Amino acid sequence: MPVAQKAELIDFTSALLAAAGYTPHEAAQTADLLVWANLRGADSHGVLRVPRYVEMIETGVVRPGQQPKAVREFGATCVFDYGKAPGAVAMQHAAGKAGELAQAFGIGWCGARAISHAGAIGYFTAHLARRGLIGIVMTASRPLMSYFGAKGEALSTNPLSIAVPQADGTDPIVLDMSTAAVALGKIMAAKDTGNPIPLGWAIDANGAETSDPHAVAAILPMAGPKGSGLSLMIEILSSLLVGNAVIAPFLSGEAKGGFNGLALAIDPAAFGDKAAFLLAVEDLAAAIHKLDPVAGADGVRLPGERGFETERARLANGIPLANGTAKNLKEAAMRLGLAVPAFLN
């Protein structure tokens, strides 16, 4: 299994995306997001996505070089249209606008219309939390997941991330979850590694649960009706609210342009003493850490904590890449006329 260092993997990923048509800034921002996911062990949202991102440029799903256009700004809220810009760039801009509004009003909400795949959205909430803000990000895309009680694809796996700051440089608490039983990227990763998937993740064309990642026709919702209900509400908040519905037009055969997202930032100081809030978060974290772990567990962790541990280990020892991912990256490099880096050979 090839192993890459953070800097060389970012440089190579950025070069691949730039060769495919991303602007230098877009390539660098997207590479940083993808490698961030790999560092944290979320390989399903890491550089294995690069070949698909290249394909999305070629098919017009992603349009490099777009500038964000303000659609509406009203008090602590705003809506921007991104013209199908790379999702990493669009959502970083939206999160930045939400952060600016939070600093001015105590809370800021930015609706992001017509974006493309935004990757591991914990990247954006973690950035807000590092600034001392509570970050909430959701994204909505085309159907990939079944609706509880119905056959076939009906909803997106619409993810949700919430990050909360902690004091004194302590890592933020970062929840980053899909509304599906599993993220699509994990099924893509299983295809790359040649491994079966657990039953309960997805169904085949006949609606039966499958362990074959190549036979997946739709992903199952997390916790049945809870997952599909949450996904539906994210579609309303992220898409309908900004005037760019995704699911209903897609299901009626009238697919429209781009995906959507929202970024919400909250300044704890708007609700009271910020130091007291951070102390309360610290007390809560300590109480969770003191819980007795079940047999076989190596401790009780907060959301995102394992990712930070993995990040520190991979910064020190390198980022392992599945053989299938390495093969796809090499093929993409050769097709785009780039030299294959030594870590892939």
Instruction: Give pLDDT < 70 ranges for the chain.
Output: 257
Task: Please return the burial class of 251, using the count of CB atoms within 10 Å of its CB with bins 0-12, 13-18 and 19+.
Answer: middle
Residue 245: per-residue pLDDT? 95
Pairing of strands 77-85, 69-74: antiparallel
Instruction: Dump pLDDT digits (tens) for 126-173.
Output: 999 999 999 999 999 999 999 998 888 999 999 999 999 999 889 999
Residue 28: per-residue pLDDT? 98
Residue 26: per-residue pLDDT? 98
Residue 185: per-residue pLDDT? 77
CA 290, 294, 295, 299 dihedral sign is negative
267-276 long-range contacts (CB < 8 A, ≥24 apart) are: 267/102, 267/103, 267/106, 267/107, 267/132, 267/133, 267/134, 268/132, 268/133, 268/134, 268/165, 269/106, 270/102, 270/105, 270/106, 270/107, 271/106, 274/132, 275/167
Q: Please, which residues have CB within 8 angstroms of residue 217's CB and are 6 or more apart in sequence?
A: 152, 153, 202, 203, 204, 205
* SS3 of the chain: helix, strand, coil, percent, to 5: 45, 20, 35
Find how far residue 60's CA is from the centre of its chain. 21
Domains of the chain with CATH codes: 1-72+318-345 (1.10.1530.10)
Six-digit token pair at 224? 């049945």
Residue labelled with tokens 């093969």:
327
Prediction pTM value: 0.93
Task: Tell me 32's DSSP state.
Answer: H
Query: Rounded distance, CA 69 to CA 75, Å?
Result: 17
79 Ramachandran zone, left/alpha/beta (phi>0; psi -120 to 50): beta
Residue labelled with tokens 């980022």:
319
